[in-house]
Amino acid sequence: MSADTSRRIVLLRHAKAEWSQESDHERPLAERGRMEAPTVGRKLADSGIAFDLALCSTAVRTRETWKLAVHEMPERPRTVYEERLYEASLGELIALVNETPDDVADLLVIGHNPGTHALADALSGTGEGDALARMSRGGFPTAAFAVVGFTGPWKSVEHGVGRLAEYWTPND
């Protein structure tokens, strides 16, 4: 792929999790989350994006979200369970995205807040329609996702390089 290749990163926050006695990393999905995850999977399938790679946090709730969502998709992308996504700062998330191989055109990242929202906000220099305003106003609820497009290599991803093409929440 050339330096002017169009790419997309889809940032998905895990579905609703239980508040339990487990450690935060081990928290499972709540009943609502088990219903949200297939819904977001169908919405991602409807987007027509054929993901080349999915990076998923190792936390139980993100793995469960991905397991339920991916069953709704026409093809399962190569999936890497990435422990660095759990509790990652904005800088750590950008560094992780910068490591994406250049043969990946469409990347899905399944993670947590506040990092997922911070990354979507930081990368989105511009937006389609009211997507930026909706994301700023509504935050980034569980099972929400943002699609950010940009041109160039993954190692060039930084603040403001992208265009927020879509922002979706389960309430939409």
Per-residue pLDDT tens over the stretch 43-56: 999 999 999 999 99
Nearest alpha carbon to residue 68 among 49, 40, 47: 40
In a domain, 130, yes or no: no
pLDDT at position 2 is 56
Using DSSP's 3-state secondary structure scheme, residue 114 falls into coil
Please state, in angstroms and rounded to a whole number, the distance separating the CA atoms of residues 38 and 15: 10
pTM of the model: 0.95
In a domain, 46, yes or no: yes
**Where does the pLDDT of residue 73 fall: very low under 50, low under 70, confident under 90, or very high at 90 and above?**
very high
CATH number for position 46: 3.40.50.1240
In a domain, 19, yes or no: yes
Q: What is the DSSP letter of 100?
A: S
The rounded mean pLDDT for the chain is 94
pLDDT at position 1 is 55
Domain count for the chain, please give it. 1
Has residue 60 got a pLDDT over 80? yes
**Where does the pLDDT of residue 110 fall: very low under 50, low under 70, confident under 90, or very high at 90 and above?**
very high
pLDDT at position 129 is 84
In a domain, 110, yes or no: no
pLDDT at position 21 is 81
pLDDT at position 127 is 86
* % of residues, the chain, pLDDT over 70: 98
Please state, in angstroms and rounded to a whole number, the distance separating the CA atoms of residues 48 and 50: 6
In a domain, 108, yes or no: no
In a domain, 128, yes or no: no
More confident of the two residues 119 and 172: 119
pLDDT at position 36 is 96
pLDDT at position 140 is 95
In a domain, 141, yes or no: no
In a domain, 81, yes or no: yes
Domain that holds residue 40: 6-102+115-123+147-168
Strands (E), 30-97: 53-56, 78-81
Please state, in angstroms and rounded to a whole number, the distance separating the CA atoms of residues 89 and 100: 17
pLDDT at position 3 is 62
